[in-house]
Chain A
Amino acid sequence: MGAYILRRIGQMVPTLAGVMLLIFVLFNAVGGDPALVLAGKITNKEQIENIRKQLGVDQPWYVQMGYFGFEVATGFTCTWRSFTEKPEPPKSEARADAKPEAKPDTKAAPKATPPSGCQAVRSWATNEEVPKILATRIGPTLSIMIPVLVLETIIAIFLAIGVAYVRGTLTDRMIMMICTVAMSISFLVYIIVAQYYFGFKWGVFPVQGWSDNFWKNMANYAPLPIMLAIFVGLAPALRLYRSFFLDEINSDYVRTARAKGLSENKVLLKHVMRNAMIPIITNVGIAVPSLFVGSFLLESFFSIPGLGREILVAVNRSDFPVIKAATVYLAMITMIINLMVDITYKAIDPRVTFK
């Protein structure tokens, strides 16, 4: 087991290197000159040159890649420049705690020099420290997504058992048909309509918003987005879980269980259930990493200051440092979660052996 985990961690290194390469190519090569993106409408060559220098993009690509590698290695808490250069007294008044909604202050961003020592990677748009941005955004995202995942899985499992019980009947076919139709309607439509009726028209929930108080959020702001996400996620989950149950129902061991004289309920709830849980848990495991991205649609519609919305804002502002950091962080989290999921298999499926 120890050897297995070591080996898996060893395998993560090339994958992470690949992710870094992909991101580097995407943002540094394809993404055009970061300085131009950043400078926006500035046409002053000197200024642009200055920005380029500040960002280090005047260097050859391999040096830039080294910078990026250093940033990743320090978890974006330290840039190469701040690591090597002596701290200078700050010239600009740009503050790190500028509001996230603030207009991209292009002139201030690169000139902001660190007060002392190691400096975290900063957002081009707001000059905030990227690790800080991401750390503050993760809370709201998880407080929406964890309840969604947990409730959705539980509800879907129970519904799937029910549907598996009535398999082949008209009820079964009708439910599957409804699921197909429900899945065909865009998530956007659900959100727009629900927000309009529940929030705007009937005032059951606030239209949008978020507070600093966790309990207030959970009581006021979170319920509508959570219910929406569950509602939308239920149809595909139900279809999938049902097929897992039906796959198992046709196994030989189910026939054996029936030949023992077990009742149909017992067969379904004990023998079938236990086996069907294996693919279900696999599936939930796959869904876990996307918890952290959150539903960017829900977050933007309901003005929830989560990670998804932050990334979306960053994409719209071409705020590359934020996107780069988020991608690398999330890739790491994904890999670790995948490993954890694989290890938990051992507990569920006795056939799994670590090699």
Chain B
Amino acid sequence: MRHPRAGGGPINYVIPPKSQRRSLAAIGERMRHPRAGGGPINYVIPPKSQRCSLAAIGERMRLVAKSSRAGGGPSFLRYCPRGASARKFSEEYVMSAVLNQPPSAPVAAPLHQPSPGLWTLAWRRLKRDKIGMTALVVVLFFLLLMAGSYMGLVAKNWSKEVGVSYANPSFMAGAENLEAAQAAQKDTSAKVPFVDLSDIDPLAPKYEEWAKRTAEIKITDTPRADTLLFGGDKWGRDVIQKAIKGAETSIFVGLIAALLATIIGTVLGAISGYLGGRTGDFLEWFYNVFTSIPYILLILAFAAVFKRGLDTIIFILAFTGWTGIYRLVRAEYIKHASREYVKAAQAIGASHTRRMFVHILPNVSHVCLVQLSQHVVQFIKAEVILSFLGLGVPVDSVSWGTMLAEAQSELVIGKWWQLVAASVSMALLVTAFSMLTDSLRDALDPKIK
């Protein structure tokens, strides 16, 4: 039993007098509680129907701000101790104050127009976040690249040996390429010594026939390029095409594995958190088993028994990586199951399934989404390392991990481009994805209610 003012957790909710109720909704939306982790505070655009009133308020605020600025300037900042709890205040005072701002103009809301839900609002918040949007664009670019490469629109010929061995990047065309020269030498020298063994060779009569047949098969021996846009690998394959193809593999693995892990974690977490009891105990035991083995060891143990392949690595990552999501979703379900809106649903007679999936799930789905995004990053990194170690993708496909594995020995002979291509493209994607995750977490913060 709680006291009225103490009730409802850390946020002190405030209720304005009746006369201001109309505008409240509009202004209330702009307020959001910053997430626990810190970070910039964003604000929300009010729904269209209320913009007029907000604009009016904003206008008035600007006027006041102008008049006060004339006298003071930024110096009055020092009246407050630096870093006094900003968030606390935005919750306790500013919010209450803002909520009570009287409307400047009556709100004329159009009838029968559904107002934006929390997802729409979150999307609007995200749109205002420049870093988040930039990150989103980069991520989408990589996703397009992956789709394009999957459908064979780009990097289709990544495995073609189009350049000389270790072809230089075109911007350093003049540089020496000892390896290519050596290889070329070998090629020619291999043809020269030819000992006629036809006397003793039982297959000798067939040589001519074979030679004839060989001649019939046309070989399009395209001349190998000396330089490629960003250099070539040992076999003369284009590094950029490889990086694109590698992106396809890595993103595909990361996305699907994260999706699976999120599904496993969410379903188990929901069941465990909502039902509790014996089912919950059993799932907790299952979770404890997985987490009492150090994560790396768990992955390696799985990798030891399964044959390598794309599907295997996805399975391994998903089946070992669901535990964190389970923990979070379970905690959310426990929290929400005791919330008043779920109790109210129980009171009106909603079934367990309905409460679990219709009422609670939409309210924790933001957690799942953020986790999904975070795990994509984590799994991409893990895939790269596993492939590097030869425990990941099959030999005939390319991933950033296998590129790095090749790059390790290439670096010693001064061929740095494959290393740079793989690490830069990976860093770019992962940075963008991490920043998108942060922005998503901010934008989806549910505290605005």
Contacts and interface: CB of A to CB of B under 8 A. Distances in A.
Interface string A244-269: 00110111101100100000100000
Contacts of B381: 186-187
Interface in B246-295: 285-286, 288-290, 292-295
A152 B275 CA distance: 40
Interface residues of A, number: 63
Contacts of B286: 18
Interface string A187-206: 11100110010001000000
Contact of A18 (B81, B289, B401, B429): B289
B427 A19 contact: no
Nearest to B384: A186
A16 B292 CA distance: 9
B292, B296, B377, B384 — which one has the most chain A CB atoms within 10 A of its CB?
A: B292
Given A264-B81, A297-B385, A334-B293, 13 more contacts: A27-B304, A168-B83, A168-B86, A184-B377, A184-B429, A188-B404, A189-B404, A189-B427, A250-B88, A251-B85, A308-B296, A315-B303, A331-B293
A255 B85 contact: yes
A52 interface: no
A14, A192, A242, A249 — which one has the most chain B CB atoms within 10 A of its CB?
A: A192
A312 interface: yes
Contacts of A320: 304-305
A250 B294 contact: no
A15 interface: yes
Interface string A298-314: 00100000001001101
Contacts of A335: 292
B407 A23 contact: no
A81 interface: no
A258 B85 CA distance: 10
B37 A243 contact: yes
Contacts of A255: 84-85, 88
Contacts of B109: none
Contacts of A315: 300-301, 303-304, 391
Contact of B38 (A14, A167, A326): A167
A26 B385 CA distance: 22
A325 to B, nearest CB: 11
B10 to A, nearest CB: 9
A323 interface: yes
Contacts of B385: 186-188, 297
A243 B36 CA distance: 7
Interface residues of B, number: 56
A47 interface: no
B390 interface: yes
A18 to B, nearest CB: 3
Contacts of A330: 293-294, 297
A233 interface: no
B386 to A, nearest CB: 10
Interface of A: 14-16, 18-19, 21-23, 26-27, 30-32, 167-168, 180-181, 183-189, 192-193, 196, 200, 242-243, 246-247, 249-252, 254-255, 258, 264, 289-290, 292-293, 296-297, 300, 308, 311-312, 314-316, 318, 320, 323, 326-327, 330-331, 334-335, 338
A318 B292 contact: no
B431 A180 contact: yes
A211 B86 CA distance: 55
Given A167-B38, A290-B294, A30 B301 contact: no
Nearest to B438: A180
Contact of A185 (B289, B389, B390, B423): B423
A174 B381 CA distance: 23
Contacts of A334: 292-294
Contact of B289 (A19, A27, A338): A19
A314 B86 CA distance: 54
Contacts of A14: 285
A251 B10 CA distance: 10
B85 A249 contact: yes
A19 B285 CA distance: 10
A312 B427 contact: no
Contact of A188 (B285, B303, B384): B384
Contacts of B303: 315
Interface of B is mostly: helix
B293 A296 contact: no
Closest 3 CB pairs of A and B: A18-B289, A184-B430, A31-B305
Interface of B: 36-38, 81-88, 285-286, 288-290, 292-298, 300-306, 377, 381, 384-385, 388-391, 400-401, 404, 407-408, 411-412, 419, 423, 426-431, 434-435, 438
Contact of A30 (B285, B306, B391, B438): B306
A50 B301 CA distance: 26
A32, A180, A318 — which one has the most chain B CB atoms within 10 A of its CB?
A: A180
A293 B88 CA distance: 42
A250 B301 contact: no
Contacts of B304: 27, 31, 314-315, 318, 320, 323
Contacts of A293: 294, 296-297
Contacts of A264: 81-83
Contacts of B294: 289-290, 292-293, 330, 334
Nearest to A166: B83
15 contacts: A14-B285, A18-B286, A180-B438, A181-B431, A184-B426, A185-B423, A186-B427, A188-B388, A242-B38, A247-B38, A252-B88, A311-B297, A314-B304, A323-B304, A334-B294
B61 to A, nearest CB: 23
A180 B293 contact: no
Nearest to A25: B305
Contact of A15 (B285, B404, B412, B419): B285
Contacts of A21: 289
A296 B296 CA distance: 9
A15 B292 contact: yes
Contacts of A184: 377, 426-431, 434
Contacts of B81: 258, 264
A168 B430 CA distance: 24
B390 A316 contact: yes
Given A252-B88, A330-B294, A26 B302 contact: yes
A39 B295 CA distance: 30
Given A19-B289, A312-B389, A258 B296 contact: no
Contacts of B390: 316
